[in-house]
Chain A
Amino acid sequence: MSKPQEAWSSRLGVILAVAGSAVGLGNFLRFPGLAAQYGGGAFMIAYFVSLVVIGIPICWIEWTLGREGGRSGFHSTSGIFHVLIRRPWAKYLGVIGFVVPVSIYMYYVYIEAWCLGYAVNALTGRLSEPGVNFADFFAQFTGAGQDGVALKFGLQDVGIFLVAVFALNFYFIYRGISKGIELVCKYAMPALIVIAIIILARVLTLGTPDAAKPDQSVLNGLGFLWNPGEIGRGLLNPQLWLAAAGQIFFSLSVGFGVIITYASYLRKQDDIVLSGLTASAANEFCEVGLGGLITVPAAFVFLGAAGTSSAVASGSFGLGFNVLPEVFARMPGGQVFATIFFILLFLAAITSSLSMLQPGIAFLEEGLGIGRRASVALLGLITAVGTLFVWYFSKDLKALDTIDFWVGTLMLFVQATILIIIFGWVVGVEKGWKIAHEGAEMRIPNFFKFVIKFVTPAFLLAIFVMFTLRSVFGWNFSFADPVFDPTGYVRDLVGDSPNRVARMTMGLIIIMTVFTIVLVNIAGKVWGRAEKLGKETA
């Protein structure tokens, strides 16, 4: 691994790239929905506890392990584990670090295409036309109504936008770290924040647009999301903790294999402590400071408490692509604000999707010993097959949802657990601490040693077990009268009436995982030969 390495051209560039990876649709759609659902007070306490106990420590761990692996010339999770642990099995712990980002990209780019498509349709005025049924528009645009119907290329179909964003992602990935990812993030992230502030100013100055409904004011909208409610009772609700910890976990992109890969392109003595904290802080600012003040208050002003509650209950896609277009259609200057809002979502999405490709590129390059052109072509082929699958099997977004749950949720927990165990127990906290502080511009408070070694793994394990019991086995969270009713994700695969698409999607995930294990095995031989050659030369 001694060939000349790529690197970030500036420190701000890598911070914006990591922040760009973390800031996604969840910041503007999922977070406000959850905060409104569980009440601003108790949820935010659980949210910030999770940030300190899970989010920031795992971010620092990924930055540390990544930079250390990069020092030896490795950029993929498998390669980094291989060089850090020096055991034949170590490289297989990084399999998820390839499967997760590449699989998520397959459906995330589809959602990214929705954002661009909605921005264009908002710009042309289609979303502002009177009498538009936004649920029907969404079903037609995304193909959620029937399999295969989304394979069209009109302006009101996803096809043309999907091809465009897919090509755009691979164009920037082909350009490399500094001329591709860093360049995009350097412009996209500040633009995203400026757009969010413009929309925020619009929302906060809405006042009470309908004098006949004085309750539907922006102040009441903010109260709907942020009023503390019953904090003590809320904190006793395990589902609230699960939701808050899950949001922190997914929002910061920990366990994706992205931060560890990005950090591996740092120079040997670049700061990672302050940079890691800054990237996390940027994500939190976009999520709490911007996302928390825009979508739900805007919906409340035009739809009222009942309408907003049902909007929140409809999930991120329902809120973002059904409810908000309707809200913008009723808003003064709504066409402009709808356009820039969906541009904002598109920018948030593309900075994230780019980050999902780089771990795959890094692994193919260093594992198979192939060049950038070949690795981009191979990854393009793999992801094109997966994206085509998600695109065709669009009914009820079943393929997308199945990958999101089994890979984008469950596998993430496993990867994050592997990372924290490697740092805290294999590398060792003391050694890891020393590595983390090489070149550091600030020190991590010492109590984080205890947190990383004991609290984070225990908290993560508790959340993982709770999540699995709830979302897989359907536990009702009652010890006195426990009920286990397997969720749709399980019933889609086994049972009396399995879903054909869900089963095929699971097959795709298994093929992808087995394929990656084979690639990691080949990579291990390549690395072994290179090390042997290196020793002989020395």
Chain B
Amino acid sequence: MILSVGFVTGLFAWCIFRVLRGPRDPQKLAHIEPIEESEADRR
């Protein structure tokens, strides 16, 4: 129980933290990370 509940709670908390910490302006959501290494100049 502890493993299952702990895992899903931890995953959910981590995801929400990442989302809330992310860019707030919806217009700037794009191009946060380049698609491929060869496109690193887009960083």
Choose from B4, B5, B19 the contact partner of A15 (Cβ within 8 Å). Answer: B19
Query: B1, B22, B30 — which one has the most chain A CB atoms within 10 A of its CB?
Result: B1
B11 nearest in chain A by CB position? A281
Is A284 an interface residue, CB under 8 A from the partner? yes
Partner of B33, one of A267, A284, A441: A441
Does A58 lie at the interface of the complex (its beta carbon under 8 Å from any beta carbon of B)? no
- CB under 8 Å from chain A, chain B span 1-43: 1, 3-5, 7-9, 11-12, 14-16, 18-20, 22, 26, 29-33, 35-36
Answer yes or no: A268 CB below 8 A from chain B CBs.
Answer: yes
How extensive is the interface on chain A, given as a class?
35 or more
Nearest Cβ distance between residue A339 and chain B, in whole angstroms? 26
Q: Are B36 and A434 in contact, with the CB atoms below 8 A?
A: yes
Q: In the docked arrangement, what's the CA distance between A11 and B25, Å?
A: 10
Closest Cβ–Cβ distance, residue B31 to chain A (whole Å): 6
Complexed CA–CA distance, A4 and B5 (Å):
44
A11 to B27, CA, bound (A): 11
Q: Is the CB of A288 within 8 A of B15?
A: no
**Residue in A9, A269, A285 whose beta carbon sits within 8 Å of that of B9 in the complex:** A285
Contact flag A439-B29 (CB < 8 Å), given A281-B8, A293-B5: yes
Whether A270 pairs with B5 at a CB distance below 8 angstroms is no
A interface SS class: helix
B24 to chain A, nearest CB (A): 9
Q: Does the CB pair B8–A270 fall under 8 Å?
A: no
Q: Is the CB of B11 within 8 A of A271?
A: no
> Which chain A residues lie closer than 8 Å to B26 at the CB level?
9-11, 267, 270
Assembled-state Cα–Cα distance A459/B23 (Å)? 37
Asked if A292 and B35 sit within 8 Å, CB to CB, the answer is: no
Query: Would A285 and B18 count as touching, CB distance under 8 A?
Result: no
Is A440 positioned at the interface, with any CB of B under 8 Å from its CB?
yes
- Does chain B have a CB within 8 A of A305? no
**Whole-angstrom distance between the Cβ of B8 and the nearest chain A Cβ:** 4
A442 on the B face (CB < 8 A): yes
- Which one, A10, A268, A292, A440, contacts B4 given CB within 8 A? A292
| B16 lies within 8 A of A271 (CB) | no
Query: In the complex, A268 Cα to B30 Cα: how many Å?
Result: 8
Cβ of A269 and Cβ of B30 under 8 Å apart?
yes
Contacts of B7 in A (CB 8 A): 48
Do the beta carbons of A267 and B35 come within 8 Å of each other? no
Give bound CA distance, A275 to B31, whole Å: 15
From A267, A285, A292, A293, residue with most partner B Cβ within 10 Å: A285
Docked-complex contact B5 and A289, CB < 8 angstroms: yes
Nearest chain A residue, comparing its CB with the CB of B30: A269
Docked-complex contact A274 and B22, CB < 8 angstroms: yes
Contacts of B35 in A (CB 8 A): 434, 437-438, 440
A12 at the binding interface (Cβ < 8 Å): yes
Contact (Cβ within 8 A) A284 B19 = no
Is there an interface contact between A11 and B12, defined as CB atoms closer than 8 Å?
no
Do A275 and B9 have beta carbons less than 8 Å apart? no
Q: A269-B30, A270-B30, A438-B35 are in contact. Are A278 and B1 (CB under 8 A)?
A: no
Q: Which residues of B contact A292 (CB under 8 A)?
A: 1, 4-5
CB pair A274–B15 under 8 Å, yes or no, is: yes
The answer to whether the Cβ of A44 comes within 8 Å of any Cβ in the partner chain is: yes
User: Does any Cβ of B come within 8 Å of A40's Cβ?
Assistant: yes
B33 engages A443 (CB within 8 Å) = yes
Check B5–A271 contact: CB distance below 8 A. no
* Closest chain B CB from A36 CB (angstroms): 12
Query: Within 8 Å CB of A284, what residues of B?
Result: 8, 11-12
Nearest B residue (CB) for A293: B5
**What distance in Å separates the Cβ of B10 from its nearest Cβ neighbour in chain A?**
9
Chain B contacts to A: CB under 8 angstroms: 1, 3-5, 7-9, 11-12, 14-16, 18-20, 22, 26, 29-33, 35-36
12 A-B pairs whose Cβ atoms sit less than 8 Å apart in the complex: A10-B26, A12-B20, A268-B30, A270-B26, A270-B30, A274-B22, A281-B11, A287-B8, A292-B1, A438-B35, A439-B30, A442-B33
